[in-house]
Amino acid sequence: MIKDFYDVVVIGAGPAGSVSGRYAASKGASVLILERDREAGIPVRCAEGVSHNGIESFIEIDQKWIASKIDVAWLHAPGGEVATMHNNGTGYVLERRIFDTELCHLAVNAGAELLMKANATGLEFDGKKITGVKYRYQGKDKVVKCSIVIGADGVESRVGRWAGINTALALNDLDTCVQYTVSGYKQDGDACHFYFGKDVAPGGYVWIFPKSKGVANIGIGISGDKAAGKGPKEYLDEFMAREFPDLQVNYIVYGGVPTAWGLKKYIDNNIMLVGDAARQVNPITGGGIVQAMIAARYAGNVAADAVGKSDFSSSFLMRYHKEWYAKLGSAQKTMYAMKEKFMCMDDSRFDKLVNICQNIPEGEFSLKRLFSEAMKGDPKLIADIAKAFVVSKIKLK
């Protein structure tokens, strides 16, 4: 039975929402999570790759949501050269449908309540103060009152906008994506692949994440500002015709990935934003699951502490903003500056980068090593990357 009031209402039951709900509930707050769809994690709009190190502190590793283990990444340069990159630790390709449901179970076990097929439609205000969430449920308009709203409503987030936080993305801060899950994939099951180049995926890349035997996620993201003419599906179909003409597509999904550095503010009075909704996505890789869960743990804990102190002001909730910023938010700015550099690099520069990666021995790959190798081989390239770092440092002040 849904109550009239909860300390915390979370909008969205993806990893950001279920993890924030779990931490808030486990510290004693009453929590309701609203999910628009019939099931968390469905439809899967995700390449499903994560690192073991990234997720292990949030969930006990369970084979039931691991499709495959990844040990190596192949980088394919536009000119055809290939470099292999060994991960620092194992990577997984997830079954998001099962993974997201498991995260929901953890939230519920911690005491959170979950309402499916409940579509948030707006915020309830008393003057300027947020006092609840309006939602549509089984054909009726409903309201649930609360002290804190956590917006975890994904790339299509509107919760921030309702609260006056501008989350609209610039075209160059969004990748427009298509993914095929294919059968008949014959390559190594423990290797993921990334293909770069302006004719392959302008401003983005093509990825391959193998899942079970013969099955793989093959997808593409291209920068939104480069999508006016040819769209991502046309680029992906060209890629498939060239590289894998015999594979059958058994699942097709579209989606968008934020590639911004984040938001100027993640909170305001009575509201917090988390995950894709807060643009907490690695702007170079487009990976967001681990970022979302890290942010969600901070947000959930701070929300529960706010309930304990009955202080829901932005100055109290600011602790979440600061903890996120200290952990990853400032690194995001550096990554963003690098992304901007990559965006204006031509294909020959990508060839050069892959060349440099080829010279790094197995197991010694790190950004630091990449820079030191780049320094030897191509001082101008390292100068470009260094500039990106300097720019990001200046922006930080």
Partner 1 sequence: MRINTELCDICGTCVSVCPVDAIRVEEFRVWIDAEKCIECGKCEQVCPARAISGGKK
Rounded least distance, CB 152 to partner 1, Å: 14
Contact positions with partner 1 (CB under 8 A) in 114-153: 117, 119, 121, 136
Name which of residues 235 to 274 contact partner 1 (CB under 8 A). 253-256, 258
Alpha-carbon distance of 246 to 182, in angstroms, equals 10
Residues 202-231 within binding reach of partner 1 (CB under 8 A):
224, 227-228, 231
**To the nearest whole angstrom, how small is the minimum distance from the Cβ of residue 124 to partner 1?**
17
| DSSP track, 131-169 | EEEEEEETTEEEEEEEEEEEE---TT--HHHHTT---PP
For tokens 């021995």, the residue is 361
Q: Closer CB to partner 1, residue 33 or residue 70?
A: 33
What phi and psi values does residue 344 have, to the nearest 5 degrees? -105, 10
Residue selected from 20, 68, 176, 392 as contacting partner 1 according to rule CB under 8 A: 176
Decide: is 155 part of the binding site for partner 1 (CB under 8 A).
yes
Please say which residue, 77 or 155, places its beta carbon nearer to partner 1: 155
- Find the shortest distance in angstroms from Cβ 313 to partner 1: 25
Comparison of 145 and 233: residue with beta carbon closer to partner 1: 233
Residue 54, interface with partner 1 (CB under 8 A)? no
Quick one: which segment of 2-10, 34-42, 47-55, 287-295 binds partner 1 (CB under 8 A)? 34-42
Distance from C-alpha of 18 to C-alpha of 96, rounded to nearest angstrom: 13
Of 156 and 190, which CB lies nearer to partner 1 in the complex structure?
156
β-sheet bridge partners, residue 85: 73
**Could you give the count of Cα atoms lying within 13 Å of 321 in the half-sphere of its Cβ?**
17
Q: Does 167 bind partner 1 (CB under 8 A)?
A: yes
**Of 35 and 305, which CB lies nearer to partner 1 in the complex structure?**
35
For the record, the structure tokens of 310 come out as: 């009955």
Q: Give the separation between CA 357 and CA 210, rounded to whole angstroms.
A: 22
Residue 102 or 276: the one with the smaller Cβ distance to partner 1 is: 276
Between CA 172 and CA 33 the distance in angstroms is 32
Q: How many residues contact partner 1, by CB under 8 A?
A: 34
Q: How far is the CB of 193 from partner 1 (least distance, A)?
A: 21
What minimum distance in Å lies between the beta carbon of 279 and partner 1? 9
The pair of three-digit structure tokens given for residue 161, joined into one six-digit string = 């906008």
Element (H, E) at 256: strand 248-258
Taking the least distance from each CB to partner 1, the nearer of 177 and 370 is: 177
Asked if 121 contacts 141 with a C-beta cutoff of 8 angstroms, the reply is yes
The alpha-helical segments, DSSP class H, found in the chain are 15-26, 52-55, 96-109, 159-162, 232-243, 289-309, 314-324, 330-343, 347-358, 367-377, 379-396
* Residues making contact with partner 1 (CB under 8 A): 36-38, 45, 117, 119, 121, 136, 154-158, 161, 167-171, 174, 176-178, 224, 227-228, 231-233, 253-256, 258
